[in-house]
Amino acid sequence: MTKAEMIDRLAAETGVTKIDTRMMLNAFLKVIADELADGGSVKFSELGSFSVRIVSEHDHFNALTGETIHSPEQKRVKFKASKGLKDRINA
């Protein structure tokens, strides 16, 4: 599902205009991104939780070229699905 499709579906479900729905969705996504950028986490009991984890720096081997590649420490977004979402997907 694309963002445009999400906006269409949310507008249809709620009866809110697409313009207002787009503004709300953009604000919603910004709040989540800002919280994660600040090192926080976001939890939705029906969906799951988003958090930031740190991947330490490490070297890895490119088997194709034989080259050793260094990867610096990075932050990555992690999503963990809730039990309810897992149950719904597997139903």
| pLDDT for the residue numbered 52 | 96
Q: Which CATH number does 3-83 carry?
A: 4.10.520.10
pLDDT, tens digit (0-9, with 9 covering 90-100), for 7-50: 999 999 999 999 999 999 999 999 999 999 999 999 999 999 99
| pLDDT for the residue numbered 88 | 93
| pLDDT for the residue numbered 84 | 94
Spatial separation of the C-alpha atoms in residues 83 and 46, rounded to whole Å: 8
> How many whole angstroms from its chain centre is CA 52?
10
Spatial separation of the C-alpha atoms in residues 3 and 17, rounded to whole Å: 15
**pTM of the entire structure?**
0.78
Spatial separation of the C-alpha atoms in residues 21 and 29, rounded to whole Å: 12
User: Taking the domains of the chain in order of start, what are their residue ranges?
Assistant: 3-83
